[in-house]
Homo-oligomer: A and B are copies of this chain.
Amino acid sequence: MAEIIAKGAESIPDIEVRLRSVDEASKEDILWCNGLAVGSPTNLGTVSWRMKKWWDDIGFEVWRQLDGKIGCAFSSSGAHGGGGEHTCQALKTILMNFGILVFGVPDYVAPKTAPHYGAICAVEPISNSDQAMCFRLGQRLSEWVAVYFDGNQNLHPINSNYERGPIWE
């Protein structure tokens, strides 16, 4: 999922993307970015302990330095109905704790497919609709960074001409 989200993020002009696993991500990375998409497997309906540990460990060090960044969440779970939305919610809760502005995506990206509260998929993002969900999340993240950090109103979703749905069939 992270790789597809990164591609979506890179699809917006003048946006630089870093793709980091939880083992690689550093304090410098989190301070560097203007926006971030944070993902975790859904483990028991919420964030994996590894991802949580990353934030718990770095928390005090970066507190009051992340305010106003823009964030979103993604998760793969074992099943539809398996807690992916809850995991995204927990991730956004972590981000909000730092003063990060979080968002979902009102768009439909395929029939009956919408990353309203983050991108979620069952097991791996194999289907076109799962991949579209991830791509759009990354794209939207970069759009918000472009609009709010780079002042590029042209990239505001309201001005977009791509399909945003709803798509129910």
A77 to chain B, nearest CB (A): 8
Pairs across A and B, CB under 8 Å, 24 listed: A44-B52, A44-B93, A46-B47, A46-B52, A46-B90, A49-B56, A64-B106, A64-B157, A67-B156, A67-B158, A70-B101, A79-B113, A80-B120, A80-B129, A81-B116, A85-B85, A96-B102, A99-B103, A99-B105, A99-B157, A101-B101, A101-B103, A102-B102, A113-B122
For A26-54 the 0/1 string (1 means CB < 8 A from B) is: 00000000000000000111111110110
Q: Does A20 contact B (CB under 8 A)?
A: no
Number of copies: 4
A168 to chain B, nearest CB (A): 6
Q: Does A18 contact B (CB under 8 A)?
A: no
Q: Is the CB of A112 within 8 A of B123?
A: yes
Q: How many residues of chain A have a CB within 8 Å of chain B?
A: 67
- Which residues from B are CB-within-8-Å of A9? none
A54 to chain B, nearest CB (A): 8
Q: Is the CB of B55 within 8 A of A52?
A: no
- Which residues from B are CB-within-8-Å of A90? 45-46, 86, 90
Query: What is the CA–CA distance of A45 and B53 in the complex, to the nearest angstrom?
Result: 13
Q: Does A6 contact B (CB under 8 A)?
A: no
Q: Is the CB of B81 within 8 A of A96?
A: no
Query: What is the CA–CA distance of A100 and B115 in the complex, to the nearest angstrom?
Result: 14
- Which residues from B are CB-within-8-Å of A64? 106, 157-158, 164
- A45-B97, A49-B52, A123-B168 given; name 6 further pairs at CB < 8 Å: A45-B117, A49-B56, A52-B52, A81-B115, A81-B118, A99-B104
